[in-house]
Structures are given as C-alpha cells and as structure tokens.
Amino acid sequence: MFSPATKANLGSRFEILGCDVEGLGDHAIVEVDGDVEYGNIMISFIDGDNNRLSFNPMKNFDGIVAKEMIE
C-alpha cells in the first residue's frame, strides 16, 4: 500500500494511514500472520527510518491505528 502525503481525512481512523512521515509518501505492507493472536498487532520490519520508529505497536503510529481498526 502506498500512502501519499496528504492532510485529507485526518479525523477518521483508517485514512490516517495516508499521513506521510517524510518525503512524497510511505509504503506499508499489512499481512495477517497466523502466529499472531487475533486482536494483536506485530510490527516486523521498518526500513528507511534510521531507527527512529518503534517496533512496539502501541508506540508506533501505524500500530495504534491498526489496533483501533481491529477494535
């Protein structure tokens, strides 16, 4: 999924994934992993952030949004 830089729909949960961190946009791959219990989120790979983003889903913006989407 490509998330272009945008300010549109910042109030809703799903569209917030379109919020750009830096540059023209970001790419995200979202997969269902049978080893992760339903309702839980796991971030397994982050590239190009110079180790600035957390792998802890509750300390990473995309993890928080994904958790809200599940609930």
pLDDT reported for residue 18: 54
Q: What is the pLDDT of residues 1-41, one digit of tens each?
A: 555 555 554 555 555 555 545 556 566 778 888 999 988 99
Decide: residue 62, CB within 10 A, 0-12 exposed, 13-18 middle, 19+ buried.
buried
pLDDT reported for residue 3: 56
Provide the residue range defining the domain that includes 2: 1-71
**What is the number of structural domains in the chain?**
1
Q: What is the pLDDT of residues 35-71, one digit of tens each?
A: 999 889 999 988 877 888 899 999 987 888 888 888 8
Cα 1 from Cα 40, distance rounded (Å): 20
CB 5 within 8 A of CB 24: yes
What is the model's pTM? 0.59
